[in-house]
């Protein structure tokens, strides 16, 4: 494997690790956006993977070269306005909202995981307090090992869910999930899912683009991001469709499916989810703090963001993922669409002026 391929692979798994949080690893997010529509949702996973490739490529190539060759000049201007302008207040506000909501979902997920471990509320609240302290310490420091941990977790998650799928199929014990009937909503959900997630990793994509030096690197990195996300989505979705019929309302549906088959696998996957939740909490908290450009005190901004996320987490993990996440997707896609239409109207006005 060449040095360039290793570099692109490292970037792609790090970015994917930023996307894979509690909702993804637990299966709840996959149910909300994909699996609830039945086996047709496997096709939507492919659509989501293609969209991740497309948007990753556009963001990386636009940041790599401000005069990049994108056929649609109006679309290139839209991307620059949406993602790359540091003084874009609307984008900053939407990004802050997305990062904060996802961070709060991670706090809620940690609470759910502690409830599975402990019955006593004292232990649960103690665990959440320790998570808050650890998060504050890591986020407010300059050290950043999250990218490396994200990369390891992404590879571990893909291997482990493939193992679970193989073990489940080998047992011949199925509990098929009966999805909703096909509707226009089912077509929109993958786009909303990508819109919400791609926006939250924009700072990470911009940061990683600094080590990419050619269009070839950008294409390879984008393809790997799309392929990895599709692979994890497809396997998780298939597991839920084949074995998750009785656990459709569970907050940690994948854990419930695994628990019914092996306590050893359950323990291992519990640890993977716990780590993925914590690293996503750190990543989104850092993303939220970067949006607070006027706050010079890093400790104060870290404290405020974590307190806000903790308070919002009281809405519940299930409520945030099933109800708030789709709304965030609508906001993100709507924002990008409005910018595109705005640039189109500006182009039309200029053409009319020259005429």
Asked if residues 22 and 273 have their Cβ atoms less than 8 Å apart, the reply is yes
* Distance (Å, whole) CA 205 – CA 57: 10
Helical axes 3-19 vs 263-291, angle rounded to 10°: 90
Domain that holds residue 33: 3-354
User: Confidence band (pLDDT; 50, 70, 90) for 67?
Assistant: very low
Which has the higher per-residue pLDDT, 231 or 243? 231
What confidence tens digit (pLDDT) does each residue in 249-296 have? 777 888 888 887 778 888 888 888 888 888 888 888 888 887 776 667
Q: Rounded to an integer, what is the distance from CA 138 to the centroid of its chain?
A: 20
What confidence tens digit (pLDDT) does each residue in 139-174 have? 777 555 666 777 777 778 788 888 878 877 776 666
**Phi, psi for residue 178 in degrees, rounded to 5:** -90, 110
pTM for the structure as a whole = 0.78
pLDDT above 80 for 137: yes
Tokens of 242: 């084949």
Which has the higher per-residue pLDDT, 188 or 309? 309
Q: State the total domains in the chain.
A: 1
CATH number of the structural domain spanning residue 7:
1.20.1740.10
What per-residue confidence (pLDDT) applies to 201?
Answer: 76
What per-residue confidence (pLDDT) applies to 207?
Answer: 73
What confidence tens digit (pLDDT) does each residue in 325-346 have? 888 888 877 777 776 666 555 5
- Which value, to the nearest 10 degrees, does the dihedral of the CA atoms of residues 325, 327, 332, 333 take? 110
Asked if residues 30 and 233 have their Cβ atoms less than 8 Å apart, the reply is yes
pLDDT above 80 for 248: no
- Percentage of the chain exceeding pLDDT 90: 3
Write the DSSP symbol of residue 36: G
* Distance (Å, whole) CA 103 – CA 282: 8
99 C-beta neighbours (distance < 10 Å), count: 24
Mean pLDDT lowest among 169-183, 226-240, 297-311: 169-183
* Distance (Å, whole) CA 201 – CA 218: 16
What confidence tens digit (pLDDT) does each residue in 75-133 have? 555 555 555 455 567 777 888 888 889 889 888 888 888 888 888 888 888 988 998 89
Q: What is the mean pLDDT of residues 44-70?
A: 75
* Distance (Å, whole) CA 157 – CA 13: 11
């Amino acid at each position: 494997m060449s040095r360039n391929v290793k570099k692109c692979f490292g970037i792609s798994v790090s970015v994917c690790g930023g996307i894979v949080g509690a909702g993804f690893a637990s299966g709840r997010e996959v149910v909300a956006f994909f699996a609830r529509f039945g086996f047709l949702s496997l096709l939507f996973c492919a659509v989501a993977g293609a969209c991740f490739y497309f948007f990753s490529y556009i963001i990386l190539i636009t940041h790599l070269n401000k005069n990049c060759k994108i056929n649609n000049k109006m679309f290139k201007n839209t991307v620059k306005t949406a993602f790359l302008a540091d003084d874009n207040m609307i984008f900053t506000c939407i990004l802050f909202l997305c990062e904060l909501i996802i961070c709060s979902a991670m706090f809620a997920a940690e609470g759910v995981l502690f409830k599975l471990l402990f019955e006593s509320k004292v232990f649960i609240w103690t665990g959440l307090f320790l998570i808050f302290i650890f998060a504050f310490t890591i986020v407010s420091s300059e050290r950043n090992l999250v990218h490396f941990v994200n990369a390891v977790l992404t590879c571990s998650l893909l291997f482990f869910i493939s193992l679970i799928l193989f073990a489940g199929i080998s047992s011949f014990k199925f509990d098929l999930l009966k999805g909703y009937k096909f509707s226009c909503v089912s077509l929109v959900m993958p786009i909303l899912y990508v819109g919400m997630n791609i926006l939250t990793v924009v700072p990470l994509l911009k940061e990683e683009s600094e080590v990419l030096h050619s269009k070839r690197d950008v294409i390879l990195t984008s393809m790997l991001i799309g392929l990895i996300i599709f692979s994890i989505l497809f396997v998780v979705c298939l597991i839920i469709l084949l074995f998750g019929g009785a656990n459709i309302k569970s907050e940690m549906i994948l854990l419930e499916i695994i628990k019914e088959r092996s306590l050893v696998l359950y323990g291992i996957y519990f640890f993977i989810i716990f780590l993925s939740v914590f690293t996503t909490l750190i990543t989104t908290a850092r993303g939220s703090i970067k949006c607070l450009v006027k706050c010079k005190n890093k400790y104060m901004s870290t404290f405020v963001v974590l307190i806000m996320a903790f308070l919002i987490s009281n809405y519940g993990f299930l409520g945030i993922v099933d109800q708030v996440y789709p709304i965030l997707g609508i906001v993100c896609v709507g924002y990008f669409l409005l910018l595109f239409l705005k640039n189109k109207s500006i182009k039309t006005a200029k053409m009319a002026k020259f005429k």
